[in-house]
Chains A and B, each alone.
Chain A
């Protein structure tokens, strides 16, 4: 079955710095979704990418879908304390198979 892998598992970032988290699927995806889960909370939808090579931006967040539709990335610029949480990608083979997530901590 489909497997979604995320790296890194943990990301410790200095406030103001940029970082990128990556998502790789064992199979071609019809689309990919990204979610954010704050400590103690539930996953909250961020974005969905559908087209090969698609790039979408949300303020300081940039999401990209690979040309082969098997990988994706999330790049955050000028990290803030509000970015703390775990970021999950979810491959859509209707099951929404989630990766293990990248847990982000921010040093002020």
Chain B
């Protein structure tokens, strides 16, 4: 595709449920980032992939959060036992290399009720 695609665009889930958020980066981009953005805040770093491996997952808040990128392209952010505090917009970005311009997707707005 022409840009970074994230699905779903909106997700409402009940507290305690499991959710998966998908990111399709720009073809050929080796670097992929996940961020979380709350209202009025800047994007908060969660995890960075270089290829298939998680080069840095230090931003994941706790062990309920996990992300994979098995083939070095599509990535999935997985959240177990969701809590109301997980509600935010989850942004994915990709870059041709780790020091270049990052292209963001439109985000997935997660609401935990």
Q: Which residues of B contact A (CB under 8 A)?
A: 33, 35, 40-45, 48, 55-56, 58-59, 91, 93, 98-107
Q: With an 8 A cutoff between CB atoms, is A92 at the interface?
A: yes
Complex Cα distance A6/B106, Å?
Answer: 24
A30 near B104: Cβ-Cβ < 8 Å: no
Interface residue count for A (Cβ, 8 Å)? 23
Residue of B nearest to A50 (CB): B99
* Closest B residue to A41 using CB positions: B106
B41 surroundings in chain A (CB, below 8 A): 100-101
CB distance from B57 to the nearest CB of A (A): 11
Contact partners of B103 in chain A: CB under 8 A: 45
A85 part of interface (Cβ distance < 8 Å) = no
Distance of A88 Cα from B100 Cα, bound (Å): 16
As a 0/1 sequence over residues 65 to 108 of chain A, the CB contacts with chain B under 8 angstroms (1 = contact) are 00000000000000000000000101010111111110100000
